[in-house]
Structure 1
């Protein structure tokens, strides 16, 4: 277990920190205008889902590289 210095917030005794991963971007998709979404509405939602997947994968890779989770 890593000891945290409460006054400085720094990890001690071999604790490692994962690399920075940027926050997920704001969603670009909006609610569908009608009952059935248009192609543009679907594509916007798909782009948001793909961007979020990329961010989550980057976070997992950073955690693995820092030794915070198994490879």
Structure 2
């Protein structure tokens, strides 16, 4: 069923969120042995931190556009 009051519907439309670029490709690789080396751990930690930064940027953009409560 179509919305009967298009004017009122337009007033409720959300704003578009500012663009947040995609996360870069992962740099961590599978561990060579049963225990990861410091370099392997650090690469994984760098990937996790980069994803956290992207997620926080997306949440900030969504709050700024009113799509997410502050």
The interval holding the TM-score normalised by the smaller chain is 0.7 to 0.9
Shift of 1:18: 0.5
Task: Return structure 1 stretches of 4+ with deviation > 4 angstroms.
Answer: none
Shift in Å, 1:16: 0.5
Unaligned runs of 5+ in 1: 4-11
Larger helix percent: 2
Number of aligned pairs?
Answer: 61
What is the RMSD of the two structures over their aligned residues, measured on CA atoms?
1.5
Give runs of aligned pairs for residues 14-29 of structure 1, distance below 5 A.
14-29=13-28
Larger radius of gyration: 2
CA distance in 2 between counterparts of 1:57 and 1:48 reads 14
The normalised TM-score by structure 1 is 0.80
Could you state the TM-score of these two structures normalised by the residue count of structure 2? 0.81
Match of 1:8 in 2: none
Residue in 2 aligned with 1:59? 58
